[in-house]
Every structure is written in C-alpha cells, then in structure tokens.
Amino acid sequence: MKVLLTGASGNLGRFTFCRLADAGLSVCGTDCRPMDDAPGRFVIADLRDSEAVSGLVDGCEAVVHLGNHPHMSRDLPPQQIYLENIAMNTHVFQAAAEAGVGRVVFASSIQVISGHRQSDQADQPSCLCYLPLDEQSPAQPGSTYALSKQAGENMLRCLADRHPDRSYTALRFPWLIGERNDDAAGAPYGRREPGPESMADEAFACLSLAEAADLILAVLTRGSKGYHQFLPAGGNYLGLSAQALVRRYYPGVPLRQPLDRLESLVDISAIQTQVGWVPGGLGAVDTASGQS
C-alpha cells in the first residue's frame, strides 16, 4: 500500500512514519519542517497550498492526515488556527477524493466533544451527555481548534456519502504522550495532577504515541468502507479509578454502566470489534510530549 503521511515531522508523525514503514507499507512523508531521519521518502510541503497537496497524493492508495496546528497556541490568534486547519484539511481531503484515494485517516481530537470546562472547575456542571464516552459522544467543541477538527470530520462524512466504496476514518485522539518509562512506579500512565489548562470533560484520557501509531496502522489495514469515527484511550493520566473520577468531576453525568462496575471513562469496544486494536501494555510514561 502506498501511503501519504502528512505532519510527518511531528511527535505522532514520527512514530507513525516508522510504524507504517516497519509494517512494509510504502510511505511518503510530508511536513513544512525538515525530517533528516525519515524512514522513507520525505517531501517538504505547505498543506495550505492546494497545488502542492494535489501533487503529493498522485498514485497514493491511502492518506494519513496528521498535519494541523496541534492545539490552541498562545502564539497564534484563534481565528488563524481555525482558518489554517480548515484550509489544510480541505486541500488534503479534496485532493485525495479527486485522485481516487481509497482510504483516508484523519487525526481529529477528543476536544470535539469536551467543551471548555477546565479541571479546576469541578464544581461547574459537565457538558458530557453520558459516561463512559464513546465514538458516538455528541460534538461540543469549546475552541476554534476543536471547531476545525469537527469541520474536518464533517467533510469526511460528506465524502463518504459521495464515495461509499471508500474508507474515511476520524480518530478523536486524547492527550498523546511519549514513550513508556518502566522504571516509574504507580498509575497506568504516571500520576499527574491536572493544571488549569486541562479539560475536565476529556475524561483525563491519554494514549501513548506508539499506541496511536498502532491504531493508525490497524485502521489502514483493517478499516471498512464508509465513514467511521473512533475515540481511543489507553488510560487516564491522573491514575485514579473511574469511580473516583466520576465522584470528583462528573457527579451529575448519566452513567451507562453501574458505578461499581465502571472500569474506564472511555469505551473502546467499537474499535476493538471493527479494527481489532487494543492499547498496548500500560506503564508510567514521559509526559513531556503531550498533545491532543
């Protein structure tokens, strides 16, 4: 399979580039930043340039689109984040559609559903409709970044309606973190007290970069036709039980399981059933490279 990987120089892009290449896929990576150690062909390109994008997708069987502004940046105005993410998504998705690309995987975000309640606002009502969260959790974006991701999902839905013989998948990634650190003890992903920048209604979910790359490979090789969206998670970065999190942060949110049986605030059963992916072995991790 010949795959175009956008955002190849980013944290997730590097893991994904290596994972896909190791699996025997022919990968062309692209980013606006150079990548000296690319495990395959690499092209510097600006996804805001529609002509540049069109040339990249020619001959590809699949596109993995990770190339966006990764979060709300203090250095960029909110409207710029929204407009440039929209432009990048539109150029990549439209070029893929016109080139007849059969599979598109998009790095969306859990922020599409998490509103804007911060972790130091636990006394305020949650926006979540139910717990545990799953791929059908309704959109409630709380920033222009989240809105840009929702718009990307909507475009993929439209393309799936127009091209039912193709596969389009949006992955609503939670906070992505670095390599495991097996010397660290304690919680599944290392105990971390949330700062005011943490969105409480993301369920404090996290996923390692390696697990995220494995999921992308699983979707590419096992995903079915049509539009799909998944909400993956491998644990929560507070290291607290689901029951403790519900009592502290979500006392008014309806539960789809009895509290004493609740093991996680994110239900990944649909991902397991449809593409056969499960999170890898859990251990404390280095959280220095987080993004969502």
User: Across residues 163-182, what is the average pLDDT?
Assistant: 85
Where residue 285 falls among pLDDT bands split at 50, 70, 90?
A: very low
**DSSP bridge pairs for 65:** 6, 106
Task: Say how far apart CA 206 and CA 235 lie, in whole Å.
Answer: 6
pLDDT reported for residue 281:
42
Transcribe 186-217 into DSSP letters.
SSTT------TTSBGGGTTEEEEHHHHHHHHH
Q: If DSSP codes are grouped into helix, strand and coil, which group holds residue 67?
A: coil
Share of the chain above pLDDT 70, in %: 89
Do residues 220 and 64 touch, judged by C-beta distance below 8 A? yes
pLDDT reported for residue 182:
35
Task: Say how far apart CA 168 and CA 6 lie, in whole Å.
Answer: 16
Taking only the tens place, the pLDDT of each residue in 241-284 is 999 999 999 999 999 999 999 999 999 999 999 999 999 743 33
Q: Which CATH architecture has domain 2-275?
A: 3-Layer(aba) Sandwich (3.40)
User: Across residues 199-220, what is the average pLDDT?
Assistant: 95
pLDDT reported for residue 122:
87
pLDDT reported for residue 16:
98
pLDDT at 13 over 60: yes
Average pLDDT over the chain reads 90
Taking only the tens place, the pLDDT of each residue in 20-76 is 999 999 999 999 999 999 999 999 999 999 999 999 999 999 999 999 998 888 789
Distances (CA, A) of 282 to 60, 149, 152, 181, 185: 34, 28, 31, 10, 11
Where residue 183 falls among pLDDT bands split at 50, 70, 90?
A: very low
Supply 13's token pair. Answer: 């892009």
In the chain, domain spans: 2-275
pLDDT at 192 over 50: yes
Provide CB contacts within 8 A for 42, sequence distance 6+: 8, 28, 29, 30, 31, 35
pLDDT reported for residue 188:
45
